[in-house]
């Protein structure tokens, strides 16, 4: 095979690979990982930045009691359910989320430590499932406080389509 044919073949293969990658978001995650180690968003993709959201009270009439919003698991479920509805209004789904930032307050019932396990239980209902296999890149941090004393979780998201 001549050098010209080899170079031409390599250029065609590179162009095809580049075009295939440009068609969608690329997520790199270990097998069975709950989060992506990295997400690549191709040029021309529209990004959506969703403000941090907190959970809704269990009973809308009761907002001032210590357990008005539930525990970390309940608050995470509330937030992700609201986020799913917000994305649907934009013509997007949970699989379009490429980055989540999760802020957890230390739970008094857990000795002031964040309840990562409770958050994860609700998170796994929305990401990495048979119905919605995509997982976003994610950071989870413990913070001193959020806007309300009963709020244990706030989540912000970036979606791409």
N- to C-terminal Cα distance for the chain? 42
pLDDT at 2: 55
Question: What is the full per-residue pLDDT of the chain (161 aa) written as tens digits?
Answer: 555 554 444 344 433 333 333 359 999 999 889 999 999 999 999 999 999 999 999 999 999 998 999 999 999 999 999 999 999 999 999 999 999 999 999 999 999 999 999 999 999 999 999 999 999 999 999 999 999 999 999 999 999 99
pLDDT at 1: 55
As a whole number of angstroms, the distance between CA 91 and CA 9 comes to 40
- Spell out the CATH class of 26-160: alpha beta
| Among candidate residues 35, 48, 60, 33, the one with its CA nearest the CA of residue 138 | 35
- Domain spans of the chain? 26-160
pLDDT at 134: 96
pLDDT at 159: 98
Using the structure block, give the residue that is written with the tokens 């009761």.
62
């Amino acid at each position: 095979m001549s050098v010209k044919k080899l170079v031409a073949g390599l250029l065609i293969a590179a162009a095809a690979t580049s075009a295939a990658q440009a068609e969608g978001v690329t997520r790199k995650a270990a097998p069975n990982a709950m989060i992506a180690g990295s997400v690549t968003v191709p040029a021309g993709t529209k990004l959506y930045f969703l403000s941090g959201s907190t959970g809704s009270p269990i009973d809308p009439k009761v907002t001032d009691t210590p357990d008005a919003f539930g525990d970390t698991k309940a608050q995470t479920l509330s937030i992700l359910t609201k986020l799913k509805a917000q994305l649907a209004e934009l013509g997007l789904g949970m699989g379009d989320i490429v980055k989540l930032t999760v802020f957890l307050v230390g739970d008094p019932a857990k000795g002031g430590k964040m309840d990562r396990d409770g958050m994860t239980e609700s998170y796994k209902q929305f990401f990495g499932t048979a119905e919605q296999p995509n997982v976003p890149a994610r950071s989870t941090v413990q913070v001193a406080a959020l806007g309300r004393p009963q709020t244990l979780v706030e989540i912000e998201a970036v979606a791409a389509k």
